[in-house]
Homo-oligomer: A and B are copies of this chain.
Amino acid sequence: MIDIRPYIARLDWHREPQGLYAPIDYALAEGGKRLRPTLALLACQLCGGDAEKAVPAALALEIFHNFTLLHDDVMDHASVRRGRPSVNKQFGDNTAILSGDEMLIEAYKQLQHYEPSLLAQLLPVFNKMASEVCEGQQYDMDFETMADEQVSKDDYMNMIRLKTSVLLAAALQMGVIVAGGSKQQQEDLYAFGIHLGLAFQIQDDVLDVYGDERTFGKAIGGDICEGKKTYLFLAARDNASEEEKVLLRQMMALPSAMAQERKHKIEQVTLLYNRLRAREEAMKGIEYHTTQALNILSRFPQQEARQTLEQLAQQLLTRQS
């Protein structure tokens, strides 16, 4: 299996003005799962293509993903990303905005590596995905200020589809396109990516409450303290009686400025989640979407790339970070 990391490391950001390009180097230097580029390479391989040919598309996707992190962190005033100061924290908001813009442009530059007929197929897929990710981010921000009864689980699923899944799905579809795969293969792997992303995001919500702080890599209960309408919250609410709904709202409205308050709020909400079987609902959701994803994969011939994709999907069921 071809590894995307040396290709990312080989991207040259030692350009002038350094104020624009050094933060891009910083943003891309440290890890992350490299999930999106890996999916593009695997999809290309699975459809009989040379994974090497999918490298520019894979890089475009990874640069795009990191662009969204730069701007999301500005919008959320986040100060930590992957255990280091976020770009906005390290270099300031203006740098995070402008270097983020440049990253979005750099993603499009990667697509220039393809011959015209491939480019003409890749660009619309990439553009559609990019718009949808912005739409997902907008819905996410909209939900924050909406009353909880205004947000249904379907609304939430649509939001995470846009914010998370379509990028995985487009990564896979672009890999198929580079391989010269069929329309059906494009659709199948796109759908696989959607389900994979949904399972991934629900698991994220679960880990935020039920994860192990040491392996999860960030503080537990962050979503609860911020009063976020996660899958767990919406599942709990949908399972709640009228009285329990009132209680859930009261608990979510508790203050969380002080450490003591945080601890109390997280405990109380978690107890309520347990009583309302929120975690079980979430696990059902994860299992459903993982099964759907694996079913789609089973239409492809048995081979290394398929096995790797299956392993990836199954890891989501058991991952702790």
Contacts and interface: CB of A to CB of B under 8 A. Distances in A.
A138 B16 CA distance: 10
Interface stretch (A1-9, A118-126, A178-186, A226-234): A118-126
A138 B19 contact: yes
B130 A105 contact: yes
A184 to B, nearest CB: 22
B130 A119 contact: no
Nearest to A105: B130
A102 B119 contact: no
Contacts of A100: 101
A123 B108 contact: yes
A293 to B, nearest CB: 27
Interface string A133-177: 011011101100000000000000000000000000000000000
Nearest to A17: B138
B98 A138 contact: yes
Nearest to A137: B98
A131 interface: yes
B108 A19 contact: no
Interface residues of A, number: 37
Contacts of A16: 135
Nearest to A104: B104
Contacts of A134: 20, 98, 101-102, 105
A109 B130 CA distance: 10
A31 interface: no
Contacts of A117: 116
A311 B109 CA distance: 35
B105 A131 contact: yes
A240 interface: no
Interface string A91-102: 000100110111
Nearest to A112: B124
A16 B112 CA distance: 31
A127 interface: yes
Contacts of A94: 75, 141
Given A75-B98, A97-B75, A134-B20, A108 B120 contact: no
Nearest to A15: B135
A161 to B, nearest CB: 14
A20 to B, nearest CB: 4
A106 interface: yes
Contact of A127 (B75, B108, B115, B127): B108
25 contacts: A17-B138, A17-B139, A19-B138, A20-B134, A71-B97, A71-B101, A75-B97, A75-B98, A94-B141, A97-B97, A98-B134, A98-B138, A101-B101, A101-B104, A101-B134, A102-B131, A102-B134, A105-B134, A112-B123, A112-B124, A112-B127, A116-B116, A116-B120, A120-B120, A123-B123
